[in-house]
Structure 1
Amino acid sequence: MKLRALKVDWPILQRWDVPWGWQTATLTMIACGVSFVLTGLVEASVLPYLGFQGGEVSLEEKAEILFAGQFAVTAVVLGVIYGITNSFRPLPDDIFCYDWKNPFSLQNGWLMWAGIGLASALIAIALAGVALTTFSGENPQRETDALIRLLPLIGSSSISTACLVGVTGVLAPILEETVFRGFLMVSLTKWVPTPVSVLISAALFAIAHLTPGEFPQLFLLGAALGFSYAQTRNLLTPITIHSIWNSGVILLLTFLQLQGYDIRELLQAS
């Protein structure tokens, strides 16, 4: 009875009741990857026919194209996931759950645990950075590479900023959390304990960003996202953490840019 009570008190130790097998899980992840690539290729091939040539596109148009591309990818990949899993409906209530109720519940409040997860991620990444610096004698690489590619758009106009926040703070978190936490992590709990599935999905989440130098940071962030989601069984929790993490960086850099700071120099120095 005591062990049973422990499982109730700690949802993070419980597995999801996953209705599909490994074939569906594998097929869905492959389909998501293929859809992501094909959508990008289609977008790249269509843009010239719409009158958007690389050297003739303004910064605002680049930001709008980035937003439209991310919107298309998000819609297509989520369509693939929900299309494949639709045959298993009705699904358990805690799969693909977006529940706005009781945000501050200590047991499973999505906003409460989003705050806890975000704070945990910040502390873990800071400690990891100190440890890596201490043992290697070099500063760990952070999100510099990805951000430098966005630098021309950051702070260039209110439209560019809105598009970047829409991409990084809304569309990307919804897409990535649905794929890596809502589907992959949940699916893995059919074969491995939930904490193990959190770590596996966090590792794949980090690898998928194709930035090896940022793997430690992304892995720790993914772990915080996964454990927070396991506690609440509500996708609003990791989406909120991911959104604040991404959009907070963009808004901070926009503010610094408007204050006259050299953002490129600051990023390379960090």
Structure 2
Amino acid sequence: MVLNLMFIASSLHSPSPCTLFSSHKLCWSSFKTISKQSHAFLHRNPSLQRHLSLGSKRVLPSVCFFNTEDKSDSKESGWPILRRWEVPWEWQTVSLTSLACGFGFVLAGLTEAIALPYLGIKPDVLSLDDKAEILLLDQSITTAVVLGIIYSVANTFQPLPEDFFKYDLREPFNLQKGWLLWAGVGLAGAILAISLTGVAVSFFNGETPQRETDALVRLLPLIGSSNLSTACLVGITGVLAPLLEETVFRGFFMTSLTKWVPTPVAVVISAALFALAHLTPGEFPQLFVLGTALGFSYAQTHNLLTPITIHSFWNSGVILLLTFLQLQGYDIRELLQAT
């Protein structure tokens, strides 16, 4: 109360009164004048000075409001996994960029299919190793095109917040944001959840879904055919596909959704879109669970290396396991159908 009265009195006698700006900040020069007068007044009244010093933590914040912005939003939540991203674009950008990524994906495949005959390449007569190399080239081109679209759009909003499209190798085992630590947690959780989901789906459906259209089934002729084919498949499924899909579905789409919905809701929506994009209805429950694990692991660290690592170990682990079983003489097509 005393300081408020001093402020009014000094304002009435000040030769240049403080002007209030739209951001509710006080004029700095007047603030310094008031501070000097306040110190002089308190020096002449030691008892009042002792009284104010006891309650300074309650009184002083009411003197000057330099920033009245509300900090109670969920972006400042103590739970990292609930923290939102500071999204700089609107829904129109999200929609158009998503359409452009889909168009780029289709266009890259069509361009390659049209270009191969002109280059004298006939896919029907190629060896398995040649087919594996072409698949690797196709995935490389698609990844470059789609990521080029994403980063071209994002570049128009520079400077971006530091946790957008973040690939940070530092502090891999940090308890709160360690990308490798949480990748391990996410992978273990994904394996357990997907296993339980598979059991539940089999129990309620009573029959095994047909998988003849799955991408993995279409790759079976290449699995275990040679070291070159295996290396190409691991490069496709363990490096390029995780980099592309996690940047698109988690790095762009999921983070963008947090501008309008809470982070857990954004995780669920992006997981559903991730599962639908694989065009394998029979595997939707498992892919949805995997996408959810990827989303929550990314929400925890805000580092894309976390979901990329989980996705990479999942994909490449499946390829290497099937290769091992193939070399041991198992019929992996029958195993896939059974599981």
TM-score scaled by length of structure 2:
0.76
Alpha-carbon deviation of 1:97? Answer: 0.3
Aligned pairs for 1:178-257 (under 5 A) are: 178-257=247-326
Alpha-carbon deviation of 1:50? Answer: 1.7
Question: Mind listing any 5+ residue stretches in structure 2 that lack a counterpart?
Answer: 1-71
**CA offset digits 1:123-147 (Å, max 9, x no partner):** 1111112222222323466798222
The alignment's C-alpha RMSD in Å is 1.8
Query: Quick check: 1:132–1:140 contact (8 Å CA) kept in 2?
Result: no
Distance 1:63 1:5, change over 3 A: closer
Alpha-carbon distance in 2 for matches of 1:164, 1:129: 25
Aligned pairs for 1:56-95 (under 5 A) are: 56-95=125-164
Corresponding residue for 1:110? 179
Structure 2 letter corresponding to 1:91: L
Tell me the secondary structure at the aligned position of residue 9 of structure 1. coil
User: Does residue 31 in structure 1 map to residue 111 in structure 2?
Assistant: no
Distance 1:188 1:141, change over 3 A: farther
Alpha-carbon deviation of 1:5? Answer: 11
Query: Quick check: 2:101–2:146 contact (8 Å CA) kept in 1?
Result: yes
Alpha-carbon deviation of 1:6? Answer: 11
Tell me the secondary structure at the aligned position of residue 214 of structure 2. helix
Alpha-carbon distance in 1 for matches of 2:246, 2:166: 12
Structure 2 letter corresponding to 1:204: L
Corresponding residue for 2:231? 162
Structure 2 letter corresponding to 1:180: F
Alpha-carbon deviation of 1:4? Answer: 8.3
Query: Quick check: 1:129–1:139 contact (8 Å CA) kept in 2?
Result: no
Alpha-carbon deviation of 1:241? Answer: 0.3
Corresponding residue for 2:117? 48
Choose which of 185, 188, 203 in structure 2 pairs with 1:119.
188
Q: If you compute each CA radius of gyration, which structure gives the higher value, 1 or 2? A: 2
Alpha-carbon distance in 2 for matches of 1:75, 1:257: 32
Alpha-carbon distance in 2 for matches of 1:171, 1:225: 16
Alpha-carbon deviation of 1:118? Answer: 0.7
Tell me the secondary structure at the aligned position of residue 240 of structure 2. helix
Query: Quick check: 2:167–2:304 contact (8 Å CA) kept in 1?
Result: yes
Alpha-carbon distance in 1 for matches of 2:267, 2:210: 24
Corresponding residue for 1:266? 335
Alpha-carbon distance in 2 for matches of 1:228, 1:142: 28
Corresponding residue for 2:33? none
Alpha-carbon distance in 1 for matches of 2:334, 2:254: 38
Question: Mind listing any 5+ residue stretches in structure 1 that lack a counterpart?
Answer: none
After the TM superposition, which of the residue ranges 177-186 and 19-28 deviates more from structure 2? 19-28
Tell me the secondary structure at the aligned position of residue 41 of structure 1. helix
Distance 1:39 1:168, change over 3 A: same
TM-score scaled by length of structure 1:
0.95
What percent of counterpart residues are identical?
72
Alpha-carbon distance in 2 for matches of 1:23, 1:239: 27
Alpha-carbon deviation of 1:259? Answer: 1.2
Alpha-carbon distance in 2 for matches of 1:16, 1:207: 24
Tell me the secondary structure at the aligned position of residue 160 of structure 2. coil
Distance 1:5 1:62, change over 3 A: closer
Query: Quick check: 2:172–2:178 contact (8 Å CA) kept in 1?
Result: yes
Distance 1:215 1:49, change over 3 A: same
Higher percent of residues as helix: 1
After the TM superposition, which of the residue ranges 132-141 and 56-65 deviates more from structure 2? 132-141
